[in-house]
Amino acid sequence: MKQKFYNLQITTNGQKLYEFTDQTIKWISKYNFKNGLLNLSVQHTSASLIIQENADPDVQIDLINYFDKLFPMDNKSYIHTIEGKDDMPAHIKSALTNNQISLSVKDSKLLLGTWQGIYLFEHRLEVQKRTIIHHFIGE
Amino acid sequence: MKQKFYNLQITTNGQKLYEFTDQTIKWISKYNFKNGLLNLSVQHTSASLIIQENADPDVQIDLINYFDKLFPMDNKSYIHTIEGKDDMPAHIKSALTNNQISLSVKDSKLLLGTWQGIYLFEHRLEVQKRTIIHHFIGE
Amino acid sequence: MKQKFYNLQITTNGQKLYEFTDQTIKWISKYNFKNGLLNLSVQHTSASLIIQENADPDVQIDLINYFDKLFPMDNKSYIHTIEGKDDMPAHIKSALTNNQISLSVKDSKLLLGTWQGIYLFEHRLEVQKRTIIHHFIGE
């Protein structure tokens, strides 16, 4: 059994989807992983990991806009406001999406659909440094 | 260490929950998996994988209706409309649910609660062919 | 390869986040797990597993309140009402969050961010007994 860890750092600058599919594939290829599970986890509770379409960029714009509509910043009922108006909605968005994704690797290939990309979904407004742990277990 | 892969194909016909618990259990039994992780991933971004109650079918009807209410098709603010009115809500529903689930197998038994079933949750209106990758790692 | 299972039981008393990070860490330490995956799954469809901030308790209050606002109990359109007004919203909340989380263990340490805690998110009003399966696979 082979196990390996890697911390991918992404500096974000506002509410957007940051694709890192290529960095993940490069890492798999570098260590010549054949078959196994790749566990990705983001070490924060105001950003998410999601698999989304990487074909039409409008999908991401609509997604971000609709998230802001569903989980608005200007909600007077929030008690937790000390870290900024974007922080509480960020925690709600995080709870409703994922901090963690497990992907399968088969014959040295990351099993994603044709239009699927892996994204860090940033929910904060200011510049943030985010860590995404990569953990491979397999052979 | 034992690893095995299997692509389950499901043809969907509209927004519904399609249970595949039995197919998954049959596959585990066929290869005599004892203990390990079963990683399921759907290779699309407009359908989800969910664990839900398989007792009262009304739960699924309410779930689908409430999803349509929260993420409506007739939303004039969507930019991405080229693939039909159901496509952008489908991406939003996908982002807010799961593309991937890891389940545990112990003593040849898939560990699900008494009322839990595994479902493909289809978010598109037209007929679709969906692939759900099954990946077992264990012994 | 090492595998181990453990059923953590939590008795809940209403809609709240119940942290169990310490119990999980103690279990990892007890069996001296070094590197591997820890798969957590809740065996119910009206409670969730989430990773959230364990610093400011107001975050959890806002989260619960906002969930109740988004997925209200007094919704006349629900058909499934036989198990109480809180049951159908609980299923919807469960579908939109997670039943299952996989965490990485490295050098005997559970890889969580500084402010991250693991919680059972109870969506029912009455007292419930909940089971969270812990499954370690690694070395």
B93-131 confidence digits (pLDDT tens) = 999 999 999 999 999 999 999 999 999 999 999 999 999
Q: Which ranges of C4-83 does DSSP label H, i.e. alpha helix?
A: 21-30, 58-70
The whole-angstrom distance between A20's CA and the closest CA on chain B is 17
Residue B99 · residue B41 · CB < 8 Å: yes
CA angle, residues C103, B19, A136, in degrees to nearest 5? 25
Q: Which ranges of chain C does DSSP label H, i.e. alpha helix?
A: 21-30, 58-70, 87-96
Q: Which of B133, B139, B108, B138 is nearest to B6 (CA)?
A: B133
Burial class (CB in 10 A: 0-12, 13-18, 19+), A109: middle
Q: For chain C, which ranges sit under pLDDT 50?
A: none
User: Mean pLDDT over residues A80-90, rounded?
Assistant: 94
- Res. A76: pLDDT tops 90: no
Q: Strand C17-19 and strand C2-13: pairing?
A: unpaired
What's the mean pLDDT when you consider all of chain A?
96
Band (B84; pLDDT cuts 50, 70, 90): very high
Band (A54; pLDDT cuts 50, 70, 90): confident
The whole-angstrom distance between A3's CA and the closest CA on chain B is 13
- Give the residue from C7, C50, C79, C124 with the most B CB atoms within 10 Å of its CB, the best one to mutate: C79
- Res. B64: pLDDT tops 90: yes
- Give the residue from B71, B130, B135 with the most A CB atoms within 10 Å of its CB, the best one to mutate: B135
Band (A12; pLDDT cuts 50, 70, 90): very high
What's the mean pLDDT when you consider all of chain B?
96
Band (A42; pLDDT cuts 50, 70, 90): very high
Residue A8 · residue A20 · CB < 8 Å: yes
Residue C39 · residue C139 · CB < 8 Å: no
Cross-chain Cβ contact A91/C53 below 8 Å: yes
Structure-token match 């990892």, residue found: C28
Q: How far is CA B114 from CA A69, B96, B106, C78, in A?
A: 37, 25, 15, 23
The whole-angstrom separation of Cα B100 and Cα B98 is: 5
Radius of gyration of chain B (CA): 16
Amino acid A98: pLDDT: 96
Instruction: Name the residue of chain C whose CA is nearest to A47's CA.
Output: C52
User: Mean pLDDT over residues B43-56, rounded?
Assistant: 94
Amino acid B95: pLDDT: 96
Closest partner residue to C45 among B58, B69, B115, by Cβ? Answer: B115
How large is the ipTM? 0.95
Residue A50 · residue B48 · CB < 8 Å: no
B76 or A121: which leads in pLDDT: A121
Handedness of CA A103, A109, A114, A115 (dihedral sign): positive
The whole-angstrom separation of Cα B79 and Cα A20 is: 24
The whole-angstrom separation of Cα B7 and Cα C38 is: 25
The H or E element that residue A60 is part of is helix A58-70
Amino acid C55: pLDDT: 87
Residue B100 · residue A101 · CB < 8 Å: yes
- Res. B46: pLDDT tops 90: yes
Amino acid B87: pLDDT: 95
- Res. B55: pLDDT tops 90: no
Amino acid A75: pLDDT: 86
Which 8-state DSSP code applies to residue A56? -
Q: Is C116 helix (H, G, I), strand (E, B) or coil?
A: strand
- Give the residue from C56, C67, C112 with the most A CB atoms within 10 Å of its CB, the best one to mutate: C56
Structure-token match 């960029």, residue found: A57
Q: C27-38: string of b/e by CB count within 10 Å (b at 16+)? A: bbeeeebebbbb
Count Cα atoms within 13 angstroms, Cβ side, for B9.
4
List all residues 6 or more positions away from B127 whose beta carbon is below 8 Å from its beta carbon: B11, B12, B13
Cross-chain Cβ contact A101/B102 below 8 Å: no
Burial class (CB in 10 A: 0-12, 13-18, 19+), C53: buried
Q: What is the pLDDT of residues A110-127, one digit of tens each?
A: 999 999 999 999 999 999
> B76: how many CB neighbours lie within 10 A of its CB?
5
User: Mean pLDDT over residues B43-70, rounded?
Assistant: 94
List all residues 6 or more positions away from B76 whose beta carbon is below 8 Å from its beta carbon: none
